[in-house]
Structure 1
Amino acid sequence: MTEVLEPFVTAARDGGADFAALPTPTTPAEWLERARLVRRILEVDAAERDAAGATPYDEVAVLKRSGLVTLLGPVAEGGGGQEWPLAYRVTREVAAGDGSIGQLLGYHYLWFWAARLVGTPEQIEAVETQATAEQWFFGGAVNPRDDDVVIHDEGDELVYHGKKSFSTGSNVSDVTVLEGVVSGTETHVFAIVPSKQEGIVYHDDWDNIGQRLTESGGVTIDGVRVPWAAAAGFRDKVYQPRVYNTLNVPVIQLVFVNFYLGIARGALDTAAEYTRTTTRPWLHGGQERATDEPYIVDGYGDLTAKLWAAEALADAVADEQQEIHRDPDALTEQARGEHEVRVAAVKAVATNVALAASNAIFELTGARATRASLGFDRFWRNVRTHSLHDPVAYKRREVGRFVLTGELPQPTWYS
């Protein structure tokens, strides 16, 4: 970040800076620079905001004003016109500044793209056009581990009723993706609905130790009406499945990977600055500066090497996935399964690296770095909380079975 942008960083946190005054990004490199600017804005008071746990309205406003929300949207409507590999890297960069906001942005990209996952061509165009032009911020209430939301077919309309224990993005979202099963059938229906309506009640009960600003509490859905025409992927109430429809898990798992790696980068960068400026050498070590302590130098070198390797694998797998996105109808079950194995491998690596880095920073910064006001524990709390989403052992098992027997993971709704 150049010095000329420092005043902008401070002003942007208070809503007083206009991103429109900056050149509009057009290339992946320029969009990454924009993401780094957002990171700088978020990290200024990340510890304080984590402690407060307040609804991140201002942070989502920064994502909108910066243009990151419409990164995947059509250029004609003011979007970035970019692809998933860049969206993953942008998510990683934002998460380095604030893990919660990185998760919110990554999930937003997932749900923005969901029209392409299951929608008809007409629905895809309509959703992406309106979402981009109006800068919709997406949330989702589709946790498959809960009981299915029940949908009643009332002729021209579908009516959703049920509860979900998680609804990431709830209060800060403009629209929410719902998923349920039509009563008396096994037909699953996705739909995008306004987040603020009488039929949706957010419980505001997210009280976990990490990812505290993700608005991930429970939700009650009671009488939300959706026209059949808005049922994603349906024509005349009939759904035509494609192998591409099963790509939801590989995509969301790469979202996880990238905000885990972003949190790890944030932890290491924050700790390194503290080590350079504040950490004292051990009194019996014979060194005058903490930056000369052999165990500290070795620690940063080891963790950074592992993080760089994980980032490189994440980028390679994202590039492989983009080839699938470019020709969705060509995706075979074999190719989809082999890709999910690669995603499982990087998920296992990213989880281990992020947990190790966010824990080890305390050994590299010293006892005084445990002060609550610094909030260095938030990095570990954030990774630890979300990495329990699904057992990483099952990801390693997917890789092991493929290596030993050639068995491919079966598509599921969850993981």
Structure 2
Amino acid sequence: MGVATAPAGPLADADLTGPGRAHWLRVARESADDLATDAVAREQAGKPPLDEVSRLREAGLLTLLVPAGSGGGGADWPTAYAVVREIATADAAIGQLLAGHYFLSWSARFLAEPAHAARLERQCAAEQWCWGGGLAGQDVPLTLARARGGQVLDGRQSYATGVLVADRLAVRAVRADTGEPLAVVVDPARHGVGTGGDADAFGQRLAAGGSVEFDAVPVTPDDVLGSLSVDEDDLSPVTAMASPVGRLLSVQLRLGMAEGVLAEAREYSRAGHAHRHAARPAGAPQDPHALAAYGELTVLTRSASALADQALEAVHAGLARGEDLTYDEYADVSVLVAMAEAASSRAAQESTARALDIVGARSASMRLGFDRFWRNARTHTLYEPVGPRLREVGDYFLNGTHPPFVLPV
């Protein structure tokens, strides 16, 4: 069994009538520049990112993936990945918020009937929803039980991205009578839903994360998107693509963190502020230590980026295969994404940590805010550890074992 390669097949036809990729990349750069102007102050204030979500909404980025015919931006996943990465270079927490929004708002495409998904997308575009929640498994799952007149949702999800600003929550619940896991959409304004800003992580503080509780919340048939069962009788290869699609968002987020800290450290070094030697500013062309560090981190980040590009091409090709996608092809895609996860995690952690050494003692200044890059990267990689992904790559390489269906936290 060799190392995974992208499955054969053409990329998806762009049956899109939106403004196009160039437009959205320009909008993303402008939005990132806007977020960068007050990134340090906003991160230190730690307020729920209501203003930041308004900025994304006004830029049209919340409806980016909704078909143009349904009132959205008409963009594809490669464009959405590029947008998340661009935003993350300026503000990793808002990048995470946007990434979670894209994955959860698209989840109906993977799990629900086409007509159901289309209705949901039209309403999402019309009302400019921001999505939050999470579909990954929990130690104590939410339960969906039958009640008079329908079903009710009960339980507590200890952490979910975007809950403090979300217009819709997509969560995982198990059916009380059968144990089948389901994806459920809930309006957080509905009676019985309570959200709490009790996330006390030292990083990603503006991702609007927190707990959410459900106390006999009514659930209609339209609120149930579909099954999250890993049984191959229920989980088709095309539905299983939800896993690599979502996990590749984390890859782009990590790469944005690495590229963002290197760009900011470079600008600071070029200005000659940090001094390692009385006659030679750190990061200046004469400093061999800074040159070597920048060189090594650039190679590390560019290498991870190249692997991410291979994974993106594989994901895009897998989506284009649609119902013709096989389990073997899905496994190839999933393993490539796992490789990119491992490489991007290392790039983000090393770049955000070692950039502090390059800048020197002044990187400890709260006014400069260099620490936020490290705190954000470390927090994200703790929630999304790469150890399991590396084991999956090794098991696939050695034994040909298909990786499990794993959704991003």
| TM-score after normalising by structure 2 | 0.89
The 8 Å contact of residues 142 and 167 in structure 1, kept in 2 or not, is answered as: no
Shift of 1:240: 5.4
Q: Counterparts of 1:368 and 1:413 in 2: how far apart (Å)?
A: 39
**What is the aligned counterpart of 2:248 among 247, 251, 254?**
254
The aligned amino acid for 2:196 is H
The aligned amino acid for 1:325 is L
The aligned amino acid for 1:373 is R
Residues 107-146 of structure 1 mapped to structure 2, 5 A cutoff: 107-146=100-139
How many residue pairs match? The answer is 388
Structure 2 counterpart of 1:64: 57
Structure 1 counterpart of 2:393: 399
The 8 Å contact of residues 146 and 164 in structure 1, kept in 2 or not, is answered as: no
Please give the secondary structure, in 2, of the residue aligned with 1:232.
strand
Residues 31-180 of structure 1 mapped to structure 2, 5 A cutoff: 31-154=24-147, 157-180=150-173
Q: Counterparts of 1:193 and 1:288 in 2: how far apart (Å)?
A: 52
Residues 328-343 of structure 1 mapped to structure 2, 5 A cutoff: 328-343=322-337
Structure 2 counterpart of 1:371: 365
The 8 Å contact of residues 279 and 290 in structure 1, kept in 2 or not, is answered as: no
The aligned amino acid for 1:60 is V
Deviations 1:328-356 (A, max 9, x none): 31222211112111111000000000101
**Greater share of residues in helix:** 1
Deviations 1:361-388 (A, max 9, x none): 1222121222111110110111111101
Q: Counterparts of 1:142 and 1:218 in 2: how far apart (Å)?
A: 14
Q: Which moved more, 1:36-45 or 1:320-329?
A: 320-329
Q: Counterparts of 1:250 and 1:45 in 2: how far apart (Å)?
A: 33
The aligned amino acid for 2:110 is L
The 8 Å contact of residues 164 and 210 in structure 2, kept in 1 or not, is answered as: no
**What is the aligned counterpart of 1:344 among 333, 338, 346?**
338
Shift of 1:286: 6.3
Deviations 1:111-154 (A, max 9, x none): 11100110001111101111112211101144412311111123
> Which has the bigger relative contact order, CA under 8 A and spacing at least 6?
2
The 8 Å contact of residues 157 and 226 in structure 1, kept in 2 or not, is answered as: yes
Structure 1 counterpart of 2:277: 283
The 8 Å contact of residues 303 and 353 in structure 1, kept in 2 or not, is answered as: yes
| TM-score after normalising by structure 1 | 0.88
Identity %: 35
The aligned amino acid for 1:401 is D
Shift of 1:203: 1.9
User: Alignment RMSD, CA only?
Assistant: 2.2
1:241/1:404 CA distance change after superposition, 3 Å: closer
Q: Counterparts of 1:217 and 1:165 in 2: how far apart (Å)?
A: 7
Unaligned 5+ segments in structure 2 are 1-16, 228-232
Structure 2 counterpart of 1:187: 180
Q: Which moved more, 1:269-278 or 1:92-101?
A: 269-278
Q: Counterparts of 2:248 and 2:282 in 1: how far apart (Å)?
A: 43
Structure 2 counterpart of 1:212: 205
Unaligned 5+ segments in structure 1 are 1-23
Q: Counterparts of 1:183 and 1:308 in 2: how far apart (Å)?
A: 47
Matched, 1:314 2:308: yes
1:134/1:290 CA distance change after superposition, 3 Å: same
